[in-house]
């Protein structure tokens, strides 16, 4: 059996672990996890060790990945789900520190995944999935760094879908935009929140996997921002036209 090849950037985070698990359980994928620590479920691991220099992190990750993939295969699905959250208004002393962290977690990983896509995405229907956020479609005064970083991911998504971006023709890029994901950490720090308005990790992963299994024409359009809006435990997709 010829397995599809998937890369999960952030494979040991809350959403990344569900991605790796579901991809493996499907029986159809060989999975490579990229993260600070190895994933026990993934077939191969690329470890991120360079945290202070974006260029060196890119070179290190792509160099390790080249040893696993090389010229032998195309990558069918690249899921970029690295990220995190930190708040801060302009009046707070740690706003720059927090913003730097948000940029490293969301923007560094997204552009590196774009580089991975340019080298290995399957030109016959490969999918690059990036992760934005609904709040970053507008102002985010209490979380400036988070808002800026996710807005940059939205812009990157649009740019990668344009001619000349370097992404192989025949592949596509789509960004998922959740409001709040139902993660253990979010439940820990927001125990009194309305969990019925949070989007389940399983739903996100199932949706992205379904997009990959569809033809390029049946997916959200190349470069689309797809909002995941949950109410009363039901999630609707608002797909950018």
The DSSP bridge pattern shows strands 225-231 and 172-178 to be: parallel
Interatomic CA distance for residues 208 and 37, integer angstroms: 24
**Catalytic annotation, pick one of 3, 9, 29, 146:** 146
Output DSSP code: residue 207: H
Tokens of 23: 């991809």
Q: DSSP string of 140-168?
A: -TTBHHHHHHHHHHHHHHHHHTSTTSSPP
The closest alpha carbon to 75, from 3, 143, 132, belongs to 3
- 29: annotated active-site residue: no
- Residue partners of 58: CB distance under 8 A and separation at least 6: 108, 111, 112, 115
134, 180 contact by CB (below 8 A): no
List the catalytic residues.
Answer: 146
């Amino acid at each position: 059996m010829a397995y599809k090849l998937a890369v999960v950037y952030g494979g040991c985070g809350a959403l990344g672990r569900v991605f790796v698990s579901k991809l493996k359980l499907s029986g159809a994928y060989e999975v490579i996890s990229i993260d600070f620590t190895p994933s026990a479920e993934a077939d191969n691991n690329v470890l991120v060790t360079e945290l202070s220099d974006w260029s060196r992190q890119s070179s290190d990750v792509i160099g390790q990945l080249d040893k696993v993939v090389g010229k032998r295969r195309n990558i069918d699905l690249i899921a970029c789900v690295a990220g995190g959250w930190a708040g801060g208004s302009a009046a707070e002393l740690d706003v720059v520190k927090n913003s730097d962290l948000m940029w490293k977690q969301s923007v560094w990983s997204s552009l590196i995944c774009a580089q991975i896509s340019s080298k290995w995405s399957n030109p016959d229907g490969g999918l690059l999935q990036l992760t934005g956020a609904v709040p970053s479609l507008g102002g985010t005064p209490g979380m400036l760094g988070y808002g800026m970083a996710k807005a940059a991911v939205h812009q990157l998504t649009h740019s990668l879908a344009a001619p000349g971006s370097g992404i192989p023709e025949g592949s596509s890029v789509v960004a998922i935009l959740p409001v709040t994901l139902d993660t253990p950490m979010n439940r820990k720090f927001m125990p009194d929140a309305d969990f019925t308005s949070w989007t389940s990790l399983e739903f996100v992963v199932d949706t992205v996997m379904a997009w990959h299994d569809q033809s390029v024409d049946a997916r959200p359009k190349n470069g689309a921002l797809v909002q995941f809006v949950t109410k009363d435990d039901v999630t609707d997709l608002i797909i950018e036209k």
